[in-house]
Chains A and B, each alone.
Chain A
Amino acid sequence: DIVMTQSPLSLPVTLGEPASISCRSSQSLLHSNGYNSLHWYLQKPGQSPQLLIYLGSNRASGVPDRFSGSGSGTLFTLKISRVEAEDVGVYYCMQDVQTPLTFGGGTKVEIK
């Protein structure tokens, strides 16, 4: 199974400041189709998860452009250029290059 490791586990941030979350996989997520099968989700408090970034770097529909995804192979990063209050919650990365699909353990983002 592919192990997904996120860091940090907890990320206190200041409103208006940037934030960055790392996700490392135990095997390459580069699919034969040329895309990285790595996706980012945000679960806001009390809500269902929502897709933020798909295939490593593509923003999902309706996601603000302050969110960006980068990386390839085994190391990926989610960046928030300027954190807003509505960005608090738990961020998860997920791979689907092979089954079983696996999620990272989550990074809890909170406002300082």
Chain B
Amino acid sequence: EVQLVESGGGLVQPGGSLRLSCAASGFTFTNHAMNWVRQAPGKGLEWVSTISSTGRSTYYADSVKGRFTISRDTSKDTLFLEMNNLRAEDTAKYYCAKSGVFGVLIEAGFDSWGQGTLVAVSS
């Protein structure tokens, strides 16, 4: 059974930093791209970042580019999101999501999601 367990959220002041983690199990971690998606309170879903299965390619939403860094540790099957210079508008629940694969290397949506971790940016 696929499991994604996020941790690291909390209350931080504007300008502060946090590091989110997502512990993965139940699948071959190195075979799948991984993603972070966030949801502000009462709002819809917003893609934040993606890292390729190899870790060589990373992608970011403009709203976080230059402030957030996605990475993965294949020795620990763990995904990370380093968040710096946090702003009030970064307040959200952050979900880790696994990319599905269809056929040969065809991305097939986010087929597993964690329960999310809450990040609140406030003074």
Q: B-contacting residues of A (Cβ < 8 Å)?
A: 31, 33, 35, 37, 39, 41, 43, 48-51, 53-55, 58, 60-61, 90, 92, 94, 96, 99-106
Residues 58-95 of B, flagged 1 when their CB comes within 8 A of A and 0 if not, give 01011000000000000000000000000000000001
* Interchain CB contact under 8 A, B113 and A60: no
User: Range of interface residues on chain B?
Assistant: 20 to 34
Task: Kindly report which residue of chain A lies nearest to residue B96, judged by CB atoms.
Answer: A48
Q: How far is the CA of A55 from the CA of B102 in the complex (A)?
A: 9
Task: Kindly report which residue of chain B lies nearest to residue A102, judged by CB atoms.
Answer: B47
Knowing A94-B45, A103-B45, A103-B46, the reply to whether A51 touches B59 (Cβ < 8 A) is no
Q: A-contacting residues of B (Cβ < 8 Å)?
A: 35, 37, 44-47, 50, 59, 61-62, 95, 97, 100, 102, 106-116
Task: Kindly report which residue of chain A lies nearest to residue B105, judged by CB atoms.
Answer: A33
Give A34 Cβ to nearest chain B Cβ, in Å: 9
Task: Kindly report which residue of chain B lies nearest to residue A43, judged by CB atoms.
Answer: B45
Closest A-B pairs by Cβ, 3 of them:
A39-B109, A54-B109, A101-B47
Task: Kindly report which residue of chain A lies nearest to residue B113, judged by CB atoms.
Answer: A48
Cross-chain pair count, CB within 8 angstroms: 72
Q: How far is the CA of A35 from the CA of B59 in the complex (A)?
A: 21
Knowing A48-B95, A54-B100, A100-B61, the reply to whether A60 touches B46 (Cβ < 8 A) is no
Task: Kindly report which residue of chain B lies nearest to residue A1, judged by CB atoms.
Answer: B62
Kindly list chain A residues whose C-beta atoms are within 8 Å of the C-beta of B97: 49
Knowing A48-B95, A55-B106, the reply to whether A60 touches B111 (Cβ < 8 A) is yes
Knowing A49-B95, A103-B46, the reply to whether A58 touches B110 (Cβ < 8 A) is no
